[in-house]
Amino acid sequence: MKKIIAFAASNSKSSINKQLVTYTANMLVGTDVTVLDLNNYDVPLFSVDLEHSMAGQPINAHKFLDKIREADGIVISMAEHNGAYTAVFKNLFDWVSRIEKNTFFNKPMLLMATSTGVRGGQSVLGIAKDRFPRHAANIVATFSLPSFSDNFKDGKIVDSTLNDTLKETVKEFINALSIMDIQQENDNSKGSFYIEREGVRLAQMTYTFEAPNSMVIDHTEVDARMKGQGVGYKLVDAAVEYARAHALIIVPTCTFVASVFKRKAEIYADVTA
């Protein structure tokens, strides 16, 4: 199942953008959505001097980036303060962009905004639409909800035209997600996990089975067109899921997989010898 992270670019406990994100998350049927709260990723005010004295970035900035890295898709609703990002979002974004300039890893993104005003946060939406692609955002759909207090009541959008527009937007997002569908082929001795688009294999991880219960992953390859989207990690996840379901131990002779297993030794302990 596709993993989606959704969050409002706000730290307000009663954030209207969080309400919109939560409503949208419920429309993403058949996906595994986690709604994040920026209050759980508190970081100090960014300064190059602090970054220098810390010799790096705060752990919460790393944790937030990990959430993006592990997701198949991203839903964001931008709150607008004085025509731009909220301070809390800008601050976290600045820190995270120092760790990874390609902050959004080319994952399909549904980008939204709402505000209490009639423009529905279109200024900040425009800023984000212009800027995020420079950080490897793959914005596949956008939506703005104007006059939140009039159009959103009891946890849902009450204007049917706006609601239909959001439904269409969600459909576009869902369609974009299926690009990352991983397939598998298998016989008794070997197999592969792969991604194919229009008959062309764009990513592949191959393995052999060895007695009594090992799956030796020997090679991972990602086409240049799919680079930077975390595809290699997705293939690893697929292999781990398969190994768990079939009580197999993974032996990574592929250097990429070996490095992932080394870095995430705790997570993969149950499928490691």
Ligand X SMILES: Cc1cc2nc3c(=O)[nH]c(=O)nc-3n(C[C@H](O)[C@H](O)[C@H](O)COP(=O)(O)O)c2cc1C
Residues in contact with ligand X by CB under 6 A are: 8, 10, 12, 15-17, 79-83, 115-117, 119, 121
- Cα separation, 191 vs 196, whole angstroms: 15
- Residue 220 CA to residue 226 CA, distance in Å, equals 13
Q: Closest separation between CB of residue 140 and ligand X, Å?
A: 22
Which helix (DSSP H) or strand (DSSP E) does residue 235 occupy? helix 231-245
Beta carbons of 250 and 258 less than 8 angstroms apart: no
- Min dist. Cβ of residue 11 to ligand X (A): 7
* Residue with Cβ nearer ligand X (17 or 57): 17
Shortest distance, position 4 Cβ to ligand X, whole Å? 19
Smaller CB distance to ligand X: residue 126 or 228? 126
| Least separation in angstroms between CB 201 and ligand X | 43
Owner of token pair 């792969």: 194
Nearest residue to 142 (alpha-carbon basis) of 14, 11, 26, 24: 24
Q: Can you give the length of the chain in residues?
A: 273
Q: Which residues of 240-254 are buried (b: 16+ CB within 10 A; e: fewer)?
A: bebbeeeebebbbeb
Q: Closer to ligand X at the Cβ: 84 or 99?
A: 84
Nearer to ligand X, 9 or 137 (CB): 9
State the minimum distance, in angstroms, from the CB of residue 36 to ligand X. Answer: 14
In the bound complex, what is the minimum distance in angstroms from residue 205's beta carbon to ligand X? 40
Long-range interactions of 258-266: CB distance < 8 A, separation 24+: 260/232, 260/233, 260/236
Q: In the complex with ligand X, which residue's Cβ is closer, 50 or 84?
A: 84
Token pair, residue 33, equals 């959505």
* Rg from Cα positions in the chain: 21
Exposure of 69 in the CB half-sphere (CA atoms within 13 A): 15
Closer residue to ligand X (CB): 53 or 149 = 149
CA atoms 46, 39, 84, 166: torsion sign:
positive
The closest alpha carbon to 112, from 233, 17, 212, belongs to: 17
CB of 142 to ligand X, least distance (A): 16
